[in-house]
Structure 1
Amino acid sequence: MTLRRFIARRGKPLEIFCDNGRNFVGAAKEIAIFLKSYSDSVLDFAIGEEIKFKFSPSYAPHFGGVWEAGVKSAKYHVKRVMGNTHLTFEEISTLFAQVEGILNSRPLCPLSSSPNDFLPLSPGHFLIGRPITALPAPELVEQKTTALQRYARLEQIRQHFWQRWHKEYISELQQRSKWRTKYGPVLKIGDLVLLQEENLPPLCWRLGRVARLYHGPDGVARVADVNTTRGCLRRPLTRICPLLDDESVERKSFNAGEDV
């Protein structure tokens, strides 16, 4: 039923990568026994669907890499913002769908090299062809939970998750290095960057293009002017997160090949 729901929402996948959990392995054995018993009638259908199912090695969750890190980050914060809250099936389904929307709204890299384009590429573009948005809601983070109705309590949990998760995502994008060194990504005029701002509503990312860099006497830039949809902002580099571009992606892929 999980696979049916996934295909109904996202379409039929070409490949499914799965960890070696016991429930998945047991299900695979049951399916294998079924296919042996009814191979003639099912084989033609399976061949037509062309879905490959790949298991990672046992006790090796790091083979999941990117998606395992995303699942870990989401589970870590969901458990803490929910706590001992009792939710119905409909409420928890709604919460998980909204958490999914937050994760799929994160900016990955610029959509174009135009200095007037502030839109990034996000996982939502691969899923629905455009950025994932959310309905506006009042600020409920500071409200007392006991004074809220159930729908408002669910919205408060979503806002708490957004506050915790998006700060962690931004901190992972920032390279921590000594100011006297030039390790990590070097900002250039026209780069699309993510600004670290406080009290942003869920699924809202403050993006802009670097307009000017201010270098110190040692030649190291520490402040930049960033053009945004709300005007030009001056921010220290500690509040600016550069997004990946084509060159950095190729460099990371090359370095990963060297490590292997």
Structure 2
Amino acid sequence: MGSRSEDSSFKTLFYKATSTRRYTFEELSTLLAKIEACLNSRPLSPMSDDPTELLALTPGHFLIGGPLMSTAEPEIKGNLNSIINRWQHLKALNQQFCQRWKEEYLKELHKRTKWQTPTPNLQVGDMVVIKEDNLPSNEWRLGRITSVYPGADDRVRVVDILTARGTLKRPIVKVVLLPVEPRSSIQQ
């Protein structure tokens, strides 16, 4: 189940995406199934504290016991109104919706409250989502921080991240920390 902000985000984006054209029941069913896969592929939290583990828990794990897999489709470029083929239109609509929803979800994870309370620095071992524009809608680039580079104010500004494809160096504005349960609140 999603939170209220996720539900309203979905509803708002879905209405904006679909309100300008009429769709058949089959078209809407197909579109909703593809969007459902996008929403249920999002990373919720790391699977473990193991610094070599690069898997995240997703809603798909609760639904089918593992991550949702989908075939990568080429990105459809162009204005939605100019696409005449209904199937191509639905694929493009799904891609646009998922891209916008993904951005909103990452912004929600990355809310900055620095004006009210200072945010903790990223640390070695933290699992993060790497913001990348050209990923398929159901794919999220995950990694573990291996090194941090603080600035003159002792705030971390750049990090090295271990990913499935190797190590990357990214500024912290290009990464989003996956939420974890604080160790002090875990009951045994």
TM superposition score normalised by structure 2: 0.89
Give the structure 1 partner of residue 40 of structure 2.
104
Q: Tell me how far 1:126 sits from its aligned partner.
A: 0.6
* Residue type of the alignment partner of 1:163: Q
* Residue type of the alignment partner of 2:107: S
Cα shift readout 1:96-139 (whole Å, capped 9, x = no counterpart): 11111111111011101222211100111011001112222111
In 2, the alpha carbon distance for the partners of 1:144 and 1:80 equals 13
In 2, the alpha carbon distance for the partners of 1:249 and 1:130 equals 28
In 2, the alpha carbon distance for the partners of 1:89 and 1:210 equals 45
In 1, the alpha carbon distance for the partners of 2:151 and 2:133 equals 27
Q: Tell me how far 1:182 sits from its aligned partner.
A: 7.4
In 2, the alpha carbon distance for the partners of 1:153 and 1:95 equals 10
1:117 aligns to 2:40 (yes or no): no
User: Structure 1 segments of 4 or more deviating over 6 A?
Assistant: none
Report 1 or 2 for greater relative contact order, CA contacts < 8 Å, sequence distance ≥ 6. Answer: 2
Give the structure 1 partner of residue 122 of structure 2.
187
State the secondary structure of the residue aligned to 1:246.
coil
In 2, the alpha carbon distance for the partners of 1:82 and 1:134 equals 23
Alignment length (residue pairs): 186
1:126 aligns to 2:62 (yes or no): yes
1:213 aligns to 2:166 (yes or no): no
Contact 1:134 1:202 in 2 (8 A): no
Cα shift readout 1:9-65 (whole Å, capped 9, x = no counterpart): xxxxxxxxxxxxxxxxxxxxxxxxxxxxxxxxxxxxxxxxxxxxxxxxxxxxxxx9x
Cα shift readout 1:190-229 (whole Å, capped 9, x = no counterpart): 1110111112111110110001000112211111111111
Give the structure 2 partner of residue 231 of structure 1.
166
Give the structure 1 partner of residue 12 of structure 2.
76
In 2, the alpha carbon distance for the partners of 1:248 and 1:85 equals 49
* Residue type of the alignment partner of 2:87: Y
Contact 2:46 2:55 in 1 (8 A): yes
CA pair 239-248 structure 1, distance change in 2 beyond 3 A: farther
- Point out where structure 1 has 5 or more consecutive residues left out of the alignment: 1-63, 252-260
State the secondary structure of the residue aligned to 1:113.
coil
Instruction: Answer with 138-147 or 157-166: which moved more.
Output: 138-147
* Residue type of the alignment partner of 1:158: N
In 2, the alpha carbon distance for the partners of 1:246 and 1:117 equals 17
In 2, the alpha carbon distance for the partners of 1:218 and 1:68 equals 37
Cα shift readout 1:113-166 (whole Å, capped 9, x = no counterpart): 222211100111011001112222111133564344111110000001011100
Instruction: Answer with 154-163 or 231-240: which moved more.
Output: 231-240
Write out aligned runs for 1:1-260 (5 A).
Answer: 66-142=2-78, 145-178=81-114, 183-247=118-182, 250=185
Q: Report the structure, 1 or 2, having the larger helix content.
A: 1
Of all paired residues, the percent bearing the same amino acid is 39
- Point out where structure 2 has 5 or more consecutive residues left out of the alignment: none
CA pair 249-183 structure 1, distance change in 2 beyond 3 A: farther
Instruction: Tell me which structure has the larger Cα radius of gyration.
Output: 1
TM superposition score normalised by structure 1: 0.66
CA pair 73-234 structure 1, distance change in 2 beyond 3 A: same
In 1, the alpha carbon distance for the partners of 2:183 and 2:44 equals 12
Q: Tell me how far 1:184 sits from its aligned partner.
A: 2.4
